[in-house]
Structure 1
Amino acid sequence: MASLERTAYPTLPKAYSKAELQRDFSFSDDEIKWVRSKSKAPFHLNLAVLLKTFQVLRYFPDITDVPNQLVDFIRGELGQRSKVKLAEYKWFQQYRHMNAIRARLGVTAFYGSDAMELAERHAKAMSFVLDQRADIINSVIEELIRQDYELPAYSTLNDLAERIHAESQEAIFNLVVTRTPVEVIHKLKDLLDTDFGRRQSDFNALKQAPKKPSRKHLEVLIDHLAWLESFGDLGAIFEGIVDTKIRHFAAQAAASDVAELKDCLLPKRYTLMLALIYRMRVRTRDHLAEMFIRRISTIHKRAKEELEQIQARQRQKLEQLVATLDGVVQILVQEPDDQEAGSLIREYLSPGGNLDRLRETCAEVQATGGNNYLPLIWKHFKSHRSLLFRLSHLLQLEPTTQDRSLVQALQLIQDSENLHREWIDEHVDLSFASERWVKVVRRPASEGPPTNRRYLEVCVFSYLASELRSGDMCVQGSESFADYRKQLLPWEECLQRLPAYCEKVGLPCTAKEFVASLQTQLEETAQQLDDKFPSCRGDVSINEAGEPVLRRVTARDTPPSAISLQTALMQRMPARHVLDIMANIEHWIQFTRHFGPMSGNEPKLKEPAERYLMTIFAMGCNLGPNQAARHLAGNVTPHMLSYTNRRHLALEKLDKANRELVELYLQLDLPKLWGDGKAVAADGTQFDFYDDNLLAGYHFRYRKMGAVAYRHVANNYIAVFQHFIPPGIWEAIYVIEGLLKADLSVEADTVYSDTQGQSATVFAFTHLLGINLMPRIRNWRDLVMCRPDRGASYKHINRLFTDTADWHSIETHWQDLMQVALSIQAGKISSPMLLRKLGSYSRRNKLYHAAQALGSVIRTIFLLNWIGSRELRQEVTANTNKIESYNGFSKWLSFGGDVIAENDPDEQQKRLRYNDMVASSVILQNTVDMMRILQKLAREGWQFTDEDVSFLSPYLTSNVKRFGEFSLKLNRPPEPWIKDSVFQQAAGSLRVITPRQLDTEKTT
């Protein structure tokens, strides 16, 4: 049975706050008049209770189960005395009241109508799209409400969803098996077999994660993709089946072992295995393209390093040649006769009469004197040659533009792959290559065959890597390297969305108006700074080089009253263990209800909530199953924790639970004094990793191997987004993704970041998406700043501008830019993938150049404001400091070890969610404890202000116990939630919602 708590089926909570009662159960004069006209005096209260509960629930509850608090409130709304009780219904009286309510609200009864047929028809349609029975139930509920039908009993919906879900699954399984060739079925059967000499079957090889991008592992991954491709055309087998279904089947197969698959019926077993193979093909293509780019980058890096080494060795020869030249000059100075000087020079340069050695030395220095390392690259490339050719045949590479010169060059080197001669007669179109490459690849026809085959191969593979990175080339059947243009919304659909979207984000609706508005904004901002510049002399000045010099921002002083308040709080904070904190949060909101098996059924674990909390604690504190099981008091084994993590706590479920904790935090009043949650700080922090995976890499700032935990932390101290990224990726590409995926009731529209959190492309698309990007940029004086037009001149700041805004490019490609922005906003395309491609230089992509032009203008406007406003600089610095504090706080809770001991990509991402879930729990508990103490201090007569409270922080650790024997018991009496009383002090109203399910309030 699908858990009721995981669905949108409405229920009445046990307790309400006063605000909730007023909002949902207040009566209008017309409603009171109607109640009295439709019922006799003893039944006024009955009819009123049924009316209001039906309006909220959309079905009639058992009137005797309605909470007394709710009945008392409705009694007061009717003006009745407290002695008035609910009357006892006779069988016909309640039905009469129900029919009257349905008629008033225009709702049709579910039973006895065509509602069951409608629900079944809608459930069938949704069952081929949605994966979980709870999702089907939610969709049916939404459709019934939209069609003005009463909701049936939950058991009716559950039985309907269970039956329809089973039927649709069986239909899909039978369809897939029917389409699968017999030889493929036999290969699937062989995957599950083991022989005497092997401990594991070949099925486990399907799930292998990519390793670090070495040449050996590249070869292994190519072999792996070739093996996956041997299973035939899976696209035809899954034709007509939505991608979400395939992903769900693949996830089930990945989480299962051979024994569990053998317990499934044959159609389901083979469908799950084929879905896993299908998804692993896509992932492997992505990983191969990524590894290919990294290997090409490594080849170029090694050639550059060799050139540097050669130049270091040639430095002595260069000094000798300079000394020789100096001797020649001295002869010319001392001897005025040219003939005599020539004789002396010849004797000086070649005492033995042979100039060959000197000429060889000159040739060596000339060959390595510049920065052209390309002639040295072949020796580093040739060991990869066979692998890269295999890869080029295995991946289907296609250009995303009309220019096919690179693909034609690739076809040529593939046709010449088995040749041994270095020079070939073919003339190649090298329009895609730089002049430096052309000089290496070509020679004059008079010297023989014109094209150097070896260097042409290196050139082609180098540009393939470059254009895969920039998006000018794509990989068929890939995700991260797919043609993003095919994923964009059609412009006709964009035109329908455009007016409402532009009104929402505050942008003009046409290209000319957009450019005119932006030009006016740039002109006004520049003129304002120029006018106020003399008054800013204390904060900013222009040095002799024309560069602005800014005074260092000073933090605001902490008043003594805030210090004393913090001291009083720290003395009164109760000591708690991390597990006790998580148990309290579970008692308050039951956030573990989001977890469970992939089937969506009720978990069959003994005491599942405790198991889930222990798993979150073990993984979030980086103890791991083995160490956690040694210290957890109770009958729990490492296998139990590992199994729960693998089968019950999927990545998307962890995200849902994290959002639940954040939503609860946003309901509290104390965090509102720290920030409104509409601004976030973005930053990354390094985590040590096992290095045998694609995510880990060498971080140039931290000078060690690892990955970057990229987070968004709201200005009220809570983390709202988290994701592990490789250290070589520019963090700015995840700025937009973090805001779009937060999915909270409070939407952030401002992002503070550091240098890694900005680029011209990111400035462009954050502006188009209505996001205010405010970075603290290191070496910002080196950035290009655009003046509004060539004729614009300023008295004080004229030397700041080094370029002119390209308004023509922005206006010409405005439609393309808006199409991309609308597609990102609609979730049709991944913003990190797009920004990663548009952030890499592209010679052919006009959208790249337009985004650069727009981003340069937006960044110039920001920098002008940055220079002229000390308050802005203080604001950005203060908010970026919050995320630095959060990073330290979360790592303090990761006390089990310094290294993330996972190589599986999904498990790596889950570890970060676990850690943030533990951190959010501690932050939430600290905040609740602080609110209780503030209420107590107020009753004791303490005087404090909003400003005093704003200096507090929930990142407290002295009261949190991390070590010892860990014990978790949910059957103990829960601690009380904060009372609904209002604390009236200078700090304002510190109201907290009562403990209830947040789903009802969020839906409302």
Structure 2
Amino acid sequence: MPGLGFRYVGSDRLPIRLSEFDVERYFALTDSDVAALNERFRHDRRAGAAIQLVFLRASGHSLGQVSTLPRQLLHYIGQRLGLPTPTIASLRTLYRRYKTLYDHLIWACGYLGLKSIRPDQWADLEAWMRQDAEESLTLDELLQHANYWLYERRILIPADRTLRDLGRSVWAEIERNTLALIEGTVPETQLKRADAALSSQHDTAGMTVLDWLKTPPARHSLTTLTETQEKIRFLKELGVHTWTLDTVPIDKQRAWGQRIQARRPVKTRELKGSTRALELVFFLRVTLLELTDSLLYQIGRRVSDLVRHAYNKTTTKQARSAVEYRQQLVAIKALVCDNTRPAEVRLAEIGTLLGELPDEPRASHAASVRETLADDHRRVRSLLSHLCELELSGRDTEPSLQQLKLIARLHDSGATELPIDHGVPISAKWRALVDCDDRKRALRALEAAAITSLRKDLRRGSVWINHSLSFRERDQMLIPPSDWESERGRHLSLLGLPATAEPFLERLTENLKAGLAALEEARAAGRVTIGRDGALHLSAFDALPTDGIPRRTRDLLFKAIGPAQFADLMMEVDVRTGFSEVLLARKARDANELVSLYGALMAHGTEIDAKGVAAMIQQVDAAAISNTMRVLEMSGRLSRANARVVEFQRTHSITELWGTGQRASSDSMSLDTSPHLFYARVDPRRRTHAVGIYTHVLDQHGIVYNQPIVLNERQAGVAIEGAVRHSDTREDGGLLALAVDTHGYTNVGMAVSKLLGFDLCPRLRNLSERKLYLPRGMEVAKDLAPVADHGISLKPIGDGWDGLLRLVASIKSGRVSAVVALQRFGSAAQGDPIYRAAEQLGKLLRTLFLCDYFSNVEFRRELHALLNRGESVHELQRTIYTGKVAPERGRRRDEIIAISGSLTLLTNLVIAWNTQRMQATVDAWRGKGQRVEDDWLRRMGPAHSAHVNFRGTLQFPLEQYQDMLLEAAPWQRAAGS
């Protein structure tokens, strides 16, 4: 999606005032422009032609005749052309003859290569808009995309009314097609029944059924699980699980359903029938999909709780048994040493003590955990009852499904024992318990075996459910086989990968040989050692030489910048980036709406609620802030606003000293919250309940991706997802390297990231991860042999190459997220050809990375600097979000995403403002002849907050910026001054 450079594309008027940044970036005249204007026009005509020229270049649209011309632009035009500053307020007052204005417009279009749209181009535009409307979420978004399409093809953008009429007809056609799909899929009786049911009162909740369905899951508990199952049961009774609407993109389904989510039920009933049908159907369908994911997630977590409880109980029992065993040995020793009694008596007592010992050897700890889990049959059976209702699917030979079907039949018949000839496959580790003589205990063991294997099979994708988002059949997530066969070449061209594994492996093998040679050279030089543990070791970093000047310069720099109020900072960056226009999908209509937007950002992005923010601002009430908070939950708006702010920050030359923008680090930070929040987990470091915010921080300090996550889970998927989605928006190739901590990588993750075009660079800590995995037969230096493992086979990579490419292409195209992909094809998918190929390839790539990491000091230092840079940005985020997420906040998926996105945007605003002020201060110092070395600036960053006041009474300086941020009133557009 085009960003900051396309800010004015499609506009037909200018704001009343322009900032100096806008004039220089969007409306600048080059030397060749000035020469062309001087050659073509006489002295008194150049100003008007120049204004039309710069506006056409920035917007692709002709400037309205009555549009107000900002003084800043007029002053700049006069200065560049050597003319007195024009005092004309609009083109109408500048041009007395319309023909002259038109002639100048024609010249400017010819000079810029802009042409009026031809009939065949209209047809192309209409066809493209029909295609884009399939995924666009709103009509305004569709029209914006159409403006970009025309601008990139150097076609003069037609009048807004003409383009909007075309957009409305295309949008109406899409809605008609979608309604036709609904009519062909959803029986009219079901639709009427659903409409009536949502308006009725819920029996126990004391609210309408619609409000009951809107209620997000509460804390992790059996009550929440039961309520979630009840909602799914209700939706399935309406027949929602039978509605096949997969041809409509899920984001578009969410957009339609979200309108009901954000609207009061009484307003929904006032809609016309077609609109209500669209919103109703997709609200019910998306709700069912998300509730199913939520239920399976809750069941998975519940199974983990049961296993952990069994593990702890077994550990306690074994510790107690060990104490008792030692006491028996001490008693036997005392009897042996007791010479006061006859030997026969002592032997008899020893025999009594030994008689308490079991005849069979003690079971392993894992076997004891399984026994304990089988004994917890009441809670296991409760979870199984929820799973039996979900109508899980899978291969006919899938053991876990066969076990579940058998258990369901036994429960329905009232049986309490497992038949000896049950005929269901049982894994070797559970077979002893299932085949025991006690058939009641055998049934309990089968139930425990089924629920643990089902959890794993759901994660690996061998068992699935059709009415789900994340637990669908794996082939449904990936590019369909027929499409893959026909479009395989195109996908491989986009990825830059060969059709077979051999060319890729040949290059990788050559790089491995070079890496091993460099590692041997580093070992010979003493920079790397091999310890007795058989692992590679490094000495600590030598500190870089410093004389303290960079630190003193940084302190003087921020002292010169001076203190800042957060309200001033937000509006100043908004003037330069227009992020408020992105968030609202238009300019704010009045000051109240603009301040409400800023307040909503703070209410989402800090621990303060809407009422608290309203008390701080005092320019707007809490109700307006609460309503605007819903606007920020619209899909994609916060991410696009963040991208625009980061792009503005990167326009400053000082950022080139910090990095190229093609390297980043990613890590999670935790926001404290109540244990009552559904997504809350215990942070292992601070032992408090928290929710994770995963961020990607560029080497130039800006946060380019954010996503809320659940703590204590593997983060390789979200690390890859963020890198891919950021790179999709860049024309420079995006990220080439991503630094992560140990928990942010897996072997499969390293393989997938490399095939997607960037390197995953982990900071490894465990000694077991410092082995060199090499292909069989590859030669290695004698001194490196202790750390080499020649266990890699290239054959699985070749056999699974096509499936691996299909997986990577599916991630790249956005068909499946990397998070879900790595869950399905990660460690849970052991034995799958795609997993084997990715695992073997990932080990080779990790070996190559280790060679670079251990042999190249600068590379290692750069990775650590990237991770430390990310930590400094997290410190700034913690300064902005100082408290806890309230118990009533973040329960809905859209809301927790808005919290994450708003915190990221507020952080980027501070970073961008600091960067701009640092650049201005350095330029001023150098202009006065003061020495400021680039090397000093390279060691300081903009993630600084001591000078910014985030709290207290905030007063937004509307009178200073409203002319640039608010939509001009009709009388202002035509005014002349």
Q: TM-score, normalised by structure 2?
A: 0.86
SS at match of 1:836: helix
Judge conservation of contact 2:9–2:61 (CA < 8 Å) in 1: no
User: What is aligned with 1:388?
Assistant: 384
User: What is aligned with 1:907?
Assistant: 895
Tell me which amino acid in the other structure corresponds to 2:616.
H
1:149-190 Cα shifts (integer Å, max 9, x gaps): 643211322344345545654675587479443365244224
Shift in Å, 1:891: 0.6
Query: Aligned partners of 1:630, 1:49: CA distance in 2, in Å?
Result: 44
Residue among 784, 791, 809 paired with 1:822? 809
Query: Aligned partners of 1:207, 1:378: CA distance in 2, in Å?
Result: 37
User: What is aligned with 2:547?
Assistant: 559
Query: Aligned partners of 1:507, 1:241: CA distance in 2, in Å?
Result: 30
Question: Mapping of 1:12-23 within 5 angstroms?
Answer: none
Residue among 402, 408, 416 paired with 2:410? 416
- 2:458 matched to 1:474? no
Once structures 1 and 2 are overlaid, which stretch shifts more, 939-948 or 654-663?
Answer: 939-948
User: What is aligned with 2:325?
Assistant: 318
1:380-430 Cα shifts (integer Å, max 9, x gaps): 23234144223223242324xx74333223222222224434331324343
SS at match of 2:958: coil
Shift in Å, 1:975: 13
Residue among 593, 604, 613 paired with 1:619? 604
User: What is aligned with 1:296?
Assistant: 303
User: What is aligned with 1:407?
Assistant: 401
Question: Mapping of 1:501-520 within 5 angstroms?
Answer: 508-520=498-510
Are residues 842 and 442 of structure 1, via their aligned partners in 2, closer, same or farther at CA, if it must alter by over 3 Å? Answer: farther
Judge conservation of contact 2:583–2:632 (CA < 8 Å) in 1: yes
Tell me which amino acid in the other structure corresponds to 1:397.
S
- 2:543 matched to 1:543? no
Query: Aligned partners of 1:385, 1:297: CA distance in 2, in Å?
Result: 15
Residue among 618, 622, 626 paired with 1:633? 618
Residue among 277, 285, 290 paired with 1:283? 290
User: What is aligned with 2:221?
Assistant: 214
Shift in Å, 1:554: 3.8
CA RMSD of aligned residues (A): 4.3
User: What is aligned with 1:860?
Assistant: 847
Judge conservation of contact 1:424–1:452 (CA < 8 Å) in 2: no
1:670-711 Cα shifts (integer Å, max 9, x gaps): 222112221111111222122234321123333222122211
Query: Aligned partners of 1:250, 1:463: CA distance in 2, in Å?
Result: 35
Tell me which amino acid in the other structure corresponds to 1:306.
K
Shift in Å, 1:121: 6.7
User: What is aligned with 2:355?
Assistant: 359
User: What is aligned with 1:755?
Assistant: 742
Are residues 558 and 816 of structure 1, via their aligned partners in 2, closer, same or farther at CA, if it must alter by over 3 Å? Answer: same
Question: Mapping of 1:66-465 within 5 angstroms?
Answer: 109=116, 127=133, 129-141=135-147, 150-162=156-168, 164-165=170-171, 168-169=174-175, 172=178, 176=182, 179-182=186-189, 184-193=191-200, 200-233=207-240, 235-236=242-243, 238=245, 241-322=248-329, 348-350=346-348, 358-363=354-359, 366=362, 372-399=368-395, 403-417=397-411, 418-430=413-425, 433=427, 435-443=428-436, 452-465=442-455
Query: Aligned partners of 1:724, 1:528: CA distance in 2, in Å?
Result: 40
Where does the alignment leave 5 or more consecutive residues of structure 2 unmatched?
966-977
Query: Aligned partners of 1:501, 1:175: CA distance in 2, in Å?
Result: 30
Aligned residues between the structures: 942
Tell me which amino acid in the other structure corresponds to 1:607.
N
SS at match of 1:250: helix
Identical pairs, percent: 20
Query: Aligned partners of 1:80, 1:631: CA distance in 2, in Å?
Result: 48
SS at match of 2:691: strand
Query: Aligned partners of 2:700, 2:656: CA distance in 1, in Å?
Result: 7
1:560-619 Cα shifts (integer Å, max 9, x gaps): 3323322321332221111121121122222101223xxx68767763211101221233
1:112-165 Cα shifts (integer Å, max 9, x gaps): x68777766765665555331122323444666789864321132234434554
- 2:699 matched to 1:715? yes
User: What is aligned with 2:971?
Assistant: none
Query: Aligned partners of 2:444, 2:462: CA distance in 1, in Å?
Result: 24
Are residues 368 and 955 of structure 1, via their aligned partners in 2, closer, same or farther at CA, if it must alter by over 3 Å? Answer: closer
Shift in Å, 1:348: 4.5
Shift in Å, 1:101: 8.6
- 2:755 matched to 1:768? yes
Shift in Å, 1:794: 2.1
Are residues 403 and 802 of structure 1, via their aligned partners in 2, closer, same or farther at CA, if it must alter by over 3 Å? Answer: farther
Are residues 226 and 727 of structure 1, via their aligned partners in 2, closer, same or farther at CA, if it must alter by over 3 Å? Answer: same
Judge conservation of contact 1:476–1:482 (CA < 8 Å) in 2: yes
User: What is aligned with 1:997?
Assistant: none
1:40-80 Cα shifts (integer Å, max 9, x gaps): 99989988987886676555445897889999999999999
Query: Aligned partners of 1:452, 1:50: CA distance in 2, in Å?
Result: 84
Tell me which amino acid in the other structure corresponds to 1:707.
V
Query: Aligned partners of 2:328, 2:851: CA distance in 1, in Å?
Result: 51
SS at match of 2:960: coil
1:716-760 Cα shifts (integer Å, max 9, x gaps): 122111112111211222111111222356622211121112211
Tell me which amino acid in the other structure corresponds to 2:660.
D
Shift in Å, 1:208: 2.0
User: What is aligned with 2:720?
Assistant: 736
Query: Aligned partners of 2:11, 2:860: CA distance in 1, in Å?
Result: 47
Judge conservation of contact 2:697–2:870 (CA < 8 Å) in 1: yes
Residue among 608, 611, 616 paired with 2:593? 608
- 2:922 matched to 1:934? yes
- 2:560 matched to 1:572? yes
Judge conservation of contact 2:202–2:209 (CA < 8 Å) in 1: no
SS at match of 2:846: helix
User: What is aligned with 1:9?
Assistant: 10
Where does the alignment leave 5 or more consecutive residues of structure 1 unmatched?
335-343, 978-1004
Judge conservation of contact 2:377–2:444 (CA < 8 Å) in 1: no
SS at match of 1:479: coil
Judge conservation of contact 1:185–1:270 (CA < 8 Å) in 2: no
Q: TM-score, normalised by structure 1?
A: 0.83
User: What is aligned with 2:582?
Assistant: 594
Shift in Å, 1:799: 0.7
Once structures 1 and 2 are overlaid, which stretch shifts more, 387-396 or 614-623?
Answer: 387-396
Shift in Å, 1:263: 2.9
Are residues 411 and 451 of structure 1, via their aligned partners in 2, closer, same or farther at CA, if it must alter by over 3 Å? Answer: farther
- 2:637 matched to 1:653? yes
Once structures 1 and 2 are overlaid, which stretch shifts more, 72-81 or 937-946?
Answer: 72-81
Tell me which amino acid in the other structure corresponds to 2:627.
Y
Query: Aligned partners of 1:976, 1:265: CA distance in 2, in Å?
Result: 38
SS at match of 1:480: coil
Shift in Å, 1:526: 1.6
User: What is aligned with 2:873?
Assistant: 886
Shift in Å, 1:252: 0.7
Query: Aligned partners of 2:247, 2:489: CA distance in 1, in Å?
Result: 34
Query: Aligned partners of 1:370, 1:695: CA distance in 2, in Å?
Result: 29
Shift in Å, 1:198: 7.8
Shift in Å, 1:856: 0.8
Are residues 451 and 714 of structure 1, via their aligned partners in 2, closer, same or farther at CA, if it must alter by over 3 Å? Answer: same
1:466-504 Cα shifts (integer Å, max 9, x gaps): 111222322222111122333323567667877777677
1:12-64 Cα shifts (integer Å, max 9, x gaps): 866766686789894699x999x97xx99998998898788667655544589
Judge conservation of contact 1:50–1:63 (CA < 8 Å) in 2: no
Once structures 1 and 2 are overlaid, which stretch shifts more, 868-877 or 195-204?
Answer: 195-204
User: What is aligned with 2:973?
Assistant: none
Shift in Å, 1:912: 1.9
Judge conservation of contact 1:709–1:722 (CA < 8 Å) in 2: yes
Are residues 906 and 953 of structure 1, via their aligned partners in 2, closer, same or farther at CA, if it must alter by over 3 Å? Answer: same
Tell me which amino acid in the other structure corresponds to 1:373.
V
SS at match of 1:774: strand
Query: Aligned partners of 1:460, 1:625: CA distance in 2, in Å?
Result: 47
Shift in Å, 1:273: 2.5
